[in-house]
Structure 1
């Protein structure tokens, strides 16, 4: 009996030694890393520049009856502008971002205003505008946002000195005025950590916007001088299309966050 116990003890000792040796020789395997996650929630500011087209559908009306004297004619122009703004975004899941923002534009978008009945024409400039709205975006990548936006907009149109069709001063002047409306648009915003350059918090966005402003009749307010009384008036709406590129700084952005273990 003692011999059997000694034999079993020896076998157990050798098995334990072999198992310990196997464990000691097993290589160390590093835990897999979790994919980086970026968070778009937070405040941001931006500034940039762009260009645009200004269009206006104009109809000549008889005063004071309001009877159309001509069919609607589309007049247009173009120009440049600068823009500044701020906003707040909220990333509510892994792929969707919603936010609010406000911005202002200033520059020179010119369009033609003319009255073929009276034979006068002039240039009207959209000098500045502002907008407040919301946007909804989808993350194409953790640091690239594709979005649509829309909201309320206001604009200031500068004064116009009319000329005759021959180019001589017509002696008719229209003071500047304000108009309100709405806008829709969309764009793409991406982090500037590209080509090996580290730029935490800095982004670039390119955006298209289409703004529609309320129609205005030239004699709605008493700011037209030397216009023949009871002749006619110009009724026009304004539709402006712009595209801009802006540099964006996000205060909360520190780059992708990697989980700790």
Structure 2
């Protein structure tokens, strides 16, 4: 009988110890920290490059004949350019972003200028869009917290370089037109995305790809003789329509998210 009592006592003691162990304090686990909300509000700078196409409606006018003669034609060209700029964005209503920006382009987009009725025979030249500048606004929608799709538009100005003409045989024609500035406007659009991809952490760094179409008002240029700048009997009135596609690296000074939650 004593043996039975002792056995029951041992079993009770072991059960009590197990229950006490179950009631011991559990290890502390830190709650997950919420990821910061991405914000597009703030200043940014960018730089990049791309390629462009140029089209021009030209009207050749001459007084060399008894009656004034005009010929209308369209010419084009292409080339490359670099760009730098800065801007400021505001994020509102959760997924919308509005901003202002200014930028400049420089490079070598060239278009053809021809005069098929020059008194000494047809002449041709190449005109270079040496640099341009723009100031505008943009409005975008966040496809994802770190991806912005946008449209933009605003004012644009450009400087077109002087054009030296040659004959169809390639010899100097002895005439030219001077360079000039033109004003106009542009519309465009693009996509901008954060570069935190493929496991690479690059807070603040973005890439944007943008299409832009710029229209510059017409300019009448007299064809001048080389050396003396004396007027000839010819003039060319031309406008310009330039289309460009560029890719730029962007740095945002205030970018903080989104990042992976920490535990």
Q: Quick one: structure 1 residues 235 and 171, their matched pair in 2 at CA, closer, same or farther if it must change by over 3 Å?
A: same
Q: Structure 1 residue 225 and structure 2 residue 229: aligned?
A: yes
Q: Which residue of 1 aligns with 2:59?
A: 59
Deviations 1:125-173 (A, max 9, x none): 0000100000000000000000000000110111111111221111002
Q: Which residue of 1 aligns with 2:95?
A: 95
Q: Quick one: structure 1 residues 201 and 35, their matched pair in 2 at CA, closer, same or farther if it must change by over 3 Å?
A: closer
Shift of 1:121: 0.8
Q: Quick one: structure 1 residues 94 and 82, their matched pair in 2 at CA, closer, same or farther if it must change by over 3 Å?
A: same
- Contact 1:174–1:225 (8 Å) recurs in 2: no
Give, in whole Å, the separation in 2 of the partners of 1:144 and 1:77. Answer: 33
Q: Quick one: structure 1 residues 25 and 128, their matched pair in 2 at CA, closer, same or farther if it must change by over 3 Å?
A: same
Give, in whole Å, the separation in 2 of the partners of 1:24 and 1:160. Answer: 90
Unmatched 5+ residue regions in structure 1?
Answer: 1-21
Give, in whole Å, the separation in 2 of the partners of 1:184 and 1:245. Answer: 17
Number of positions where the alignment pairs a residue of Structure 1 with one of Structure 2 = 236
Q: Quick one: structure 1 residues 66 and 174, their matched pair in 2 at CA, closer, same or farther if it must change by over 3 Å?
A: farther
| RMSD of aligned residue pairs (Cα, Å) | 3.2
- TM (norm. structure 2) is 0.80
Question: Which one of the candidate residues 163, 166, 185 is aligned to 1:163?
Answer: 166
Give, in whole Å, the separation in 2 of the partners of 1:181 and 1:192. Answer: 34
**Alignment partner of 1:195: what SS?**
coil
- Contact 2:35–2:258 (8 Å) recurs in 1: no
Q: Which residue of 2 aligns with 1:191?
A: 194
- Contact 1:98–1:136 (8 Å) recurs in 2: yes
| Stretch moving more, 248-257 or 169-178 | 248-257
Shift of 1:258: 8.9
- Contact 1:172–1:226 (8 Å) recurs in 2: no
